[in-house]
Amino acid sequence: DAGVTQSPTHLIKTRGQQVTLRCSPKSGHDTVSWYQQALGQGPQFIFQYYEEEERQRGNFPDRFSGHQFPNYSSELNVNALLLGDSALYLCASSLVSSSYNEQFFGPGTRLTVL
């Protein structure tokens, strides 16, 4: 049973550049959520995708955008990178019909902005 996968594992970018992160959900899951985790903090919700649409969005600027594909995989795009965007980006998948809606996380992409 394949778990959540993310790519790439690590990424180094410079300020002003754009980045795309990818996520494949756990087998059987249909919902993907993205989180940003700064050092020493808990994950912060960016947005959630279900049925290829953004279902809910956290308090992040429009520079953060996403997409979900028909196979439920998802991308997170960040434009005009800032130093403060350096963080671990986590993807979590879940099943919308699940009664308790547990989310399962991928290993994350560690983004460094120089």
Partner 1 sequence: RKEVEQDPGPFNVPEGATVAFNCTYSNSASQSFFWYRQDCRKEPKLLMSVYSSGNEDGRFTAQLNRASQYISLLIRDSKLSDSATYLCVVNPNAGNQFYFGTGTSLTVIP
What does the binding site for partner 1 look like in residue numbers (CB under 8 A)? 33, 35, 40-45, 48, 55-56, 58, 88, 90, 92, 96, 100-108
Contact 28, 37 (CB under 8 A): no
Question: Is the CB of 83 or the CB of 96 nearer to partner 1?
Answer: 96
Least distance (Å) between residue 114 CB and partner 1: 19
Question: Is the CB of 13 or the CB of 104 nearer to partner 1?
Answer: 104
Question: Is the CB of 44 or the CB of 86 nearer to partner 1?
Answer: 44
